[in-house]
Chains A and B, each alone.
Chain A
Amino acid sequence: MRRFWALFFLAWPIVAIAWSWAAPSYGWWFYRPAQSPLGQEIDNLFYLILVIVTTVFIGTNLALFYVLWKFSDDGSPRKGSFSHGSHILEMVWTVTPAGVLLFISLYQMDVWARFRMTKNFDKEAVAQPLAEITARQFEWRIRYPAPGRKFQNKAEIEEWLKRPSRDDVYTVNELHCPANKPVLIHLRSEDVLHSFFIPDLRVKQDAVPGLVIPVWFEASKADHYDLICAELCGWGHYKMKGRISAESDADFQTYKRELAAKQAFDGVPAKTETKKEGEGQ
């Protein structure tokens, strides 16, 4: 019994580390690798922090084990000594973590700035925004500029965000975008806080009522990605899912033209063939 607790408290960190080590290869509680260039850098930051905390975790648990083992009650009438109030110890365990945190905060600034600071955004993506996305309970309403529309300047984009244009194309929950290049959306909320979250691309941005927030992302390959709401926004939060379809530029243009054609449908069947009614609205 004397050494039992020491071994007991050693066993759990070993289980935890073994489990965490195995998790990625078995797909337990783990994302698939980031599908965007910036996402990969965010992953690298994540791994860096993982290494740091794992080292600290192993160190503290070994120390705990050592103390438990060495000083467990063996019946001998030893007198305890107390380190409380040791100036050196206080300094060491304050300055060391502070140094580590300072390092992390400086090291990640570049990635943060590229993701969040508008002046670092891709110029082309900013000049030709992909869409305006309005989150609302419980869906993502999407408004694209007309197919082929090129914004001339910033003022035109601001005007477009203020008032819809006649030829805008509307859809809901299914955002298409070109793959392999940065795209920018303008995010708003119609009612409460929502959060625009594409886990595979490591993009997350709150949608705030009253604000129009530019968000950029880049999908590395043509694929479907889940878009989910990451802010508990009401009872239907769980069903607020969308889908990002990244595709080639040509496919995206075709998609947008087809969507515009569906939206302009006047119900008159084409003469030669019976047209199936579109679902775009």
Chain B
Amino acid sequence: MRVGVSYTVLLVVAWGAVGCSGPEAKFVTSEKTQALIPEAKAPIEKSLLDNFGTPHKLVAWQKLPVDYGKAEAENAGHEKAGWKLLNGRNLYMRHCLHCHGVSGDGNGPTANYLNPRPRDYRLGEFKFTSTANGIKARSDDLHLTLVNGIPGTSMPSFALLKPEELTALVDYVRWLAMRGEFEKKLGDELTADYSKKAVTDRTSNKEKPEKRTDIIAALDLLLKGTKEAPAEFPETIKSSADAMVAAWTGAEDASNQVIPAHPRQLPSADSDSISRGRKLYLSTELGCYTCHGLAGKGDGVSSVNYWPIPGSSPQKNYPERGLHDVWGNKVKPRNLTLGQYRGGRRPVDIYRRVFAGIKGTQMAGFATALNNNKDEDGKEVKNTDGSALNDAQVAALRDRKIWDIVNYVLDIPYQDQTVAPIMPKAPAAAPQTAAK
């Protein structure tokens, strides 16, 4: 009996000591920041803490184009400024964290079991956007992804959350993306000179070894400045933030959204559209087939080639065959025969994929490549009187060509897959196999 009592007491004490909470939520620094020497890492961490806070104590940096939620005396729960960010955080912790991680690094507890991996927001890049090449994602784009999910991946739909919950989540995700991007920008400034590796290289340089104390002194000058010369780093912080704010604000500008000028002609109304689209798909200029394969099965030659790691010096290839995105994950070109469209199945979604590409991947935008007076056969298109097309006509021709491709792509799932695809006849000067 006494043994039982003491065991029970022990159990209760142990339970009280351990509790039933999980690990504490905290923002972790990126690998890039972690690779810096401690003296260089400290200012980045401080700047992040000052401007973004911790998961428990968020800081609403007014500079950022994020709707933090204004104080509303009338609305219960909304009395304090920043309520929206807090709501967003709470929802994020419930619905998103286990894949996308507390810091939005795509490294939550379940991330390792998913293929494709969850998005790491910290590059400030999102794949499926309605904006032009090189432009950030709009809030609407993230909203659409939340509502529809991403078919073919582990991102489910959150269509049944309340509208205000969705907007709070979108803003919180944008805020996390900005936080990560800000960290990256600051890290980029210091990596070249003050990463652990760079400092080791500099101190052990055979020809001109530097002293570690000198390096630290130079870093100190950069961070703190002197009486005569103001420090550069605070200026870097400011300019990085300004550039980031401009980019995210710009994305919301309607002029940066890809909106077709000419409506789509349905294949039923324009019966040649699909075959024209097929020719474009198989043309060497666009080279869609190099990745997506002749029949659209996503088995093009690029998907089995070795590809170099961008920015590696000396140049190194990825150890695995196949295409990789900017996050370093292996990606497969979409198998177009499945009728599964990650960025949405509306014609406008596919138009945007062709026009502006998929951000962060080798799916390039073809807006420029298609902006010419050539038709699907590569022949020059002229007006009936023999004059060259003007700019507006070229733009109209481009839209028609993109819609042709869209119509063809949307038709692929319904084609007879048992028939071997045949390449159109190569032009007289046989081009080399293009690797786009």
Residues of A within 8 A of B (CB): 137-139, 141, 163-164, 166, 170, 172-174, 235-236, 239-243, 262-269, 277-281
- Is the C-beta of B160 less than 8 angstroms from some C-beta in chain A? yes
Contact among A166, A236, A266 for B348, CB-based, below 8 A = A266
- B253 → A minimal CB distance (Å): 16
Residues of B within 8 A of A (CB): 95, 98, 110, 140, 144, 147-149, 151, 154, 156-157, 159-160, 258-264, 339, 341, 344-349, 351-352, 403, 410-411, 413-414
Q: Are A172 and B149 in contact (CB under 8 A)?
A: yes
Which residues of B sit under 8 angstroms from A277, Cβ to Cβ?
A: 140, 144, 348
Contact among B147, B264, B411 for A279, CB-based, below 8 A = B147
Q: Are B261 and A164 in contact (CB under 8 A)?
A: no
* A-B contact number at CB 8 A: 80
| Cα distance, A182 to B312, chains bound together (Å) | 63
Q: Are A137 and B110 in contact (CB under 8 A)?
A: no
| Cα distance, A262 to B345, chains bound together (Å) | 10
Q: Are B159 and A172 in contact (CB under 8 A)?
A: yes
Q: Are A267 and B260 in contact (CB under 8 A)?
A: yes
Closest to A136 in B: B156
Which residues of B sit under 8 angstroms from A164, Cβ to Cβ?
A: 339, 413
Q: Are A137 and B154 in contact (CB under 8 A)?
A: yes
Which residues of B sit under 8 angstroms from A139, Cβ to Cβ?
A: 149, 156-157
Contact among B258, B349, B411 for A281, CB-based, below 8 A = B349
Contact among A236, A242, A279, A280 for B160, CB-based, below 8 A = A242
| Cα distance, A173 to B413, chains bound together (Å) | 24
Closest to A277 in B: B140
Which residues of A sit under 8 angstroms from B341, Cβ to Cβ?
A: 281
| Cα distance, A96 to B262, chains bound together (Å) | 79
Closest to B155 in A: A139
Q: Are B160 and A243 in contact (CB under 8 A)?
A: yes
Q: Are A266 and B160 in contact (CB under 8 A)?
A: no
Closest to A164 in B: B339
Q: Are B259 and A267 in contact (CB under 8 A)?
A: yes
Q: Are B414 and A264 in contact (CB under 8 A)?
A: no
Which residues of B sit under 8 angstroms from A170, Cβ to Cβ?
A: 345
| Cα distance, A281 to B351, chains bound together (Å) | 14
Closest to B110 in A: A235
Q: Are B344 and A268 in contact (CB under 8 A)?
A: no
**With A164-B413, A166-B414, A279-B148 in contact, is A268–B260 under 8 Å at CB?**
yes
Q: Are A264 and B157 in contact (CB under 8 A)?
A: no
Known: A138-B156, A281-B344. 8 other contacts (CB 8 A): A139-B149, A166-B411, A170-B345, A243-B160, A263-B346, A266-B348, A268-B264, A281-B345
Which residues of B sit under 8 angstroms from A137, Cβ to Cβ?
A: 154, 156
Q: Are B148 and A281 in contact (CB under 8 A)?
A: yes
Q: Are A239 and B351 in contact (CB under 8 A)?
A: no
Q: Are A263 and B157 in contact (CB under 8 A)?
A: no
| Cα distance, A113 to B259, chains bound together (Å) | 54
Closest to B264 in A: A266
Q: Are A262 and B262 in contact (CB under 8 A)?
A: no
- B165 → A minimal CB distance (Å): 13
Which residues of A sit under 8 angstroms from B261, Cβ to Cβ?
A: 268
Which residues of A sit under 8 angstroms from B403, Cβ to Cβ?
A: 266
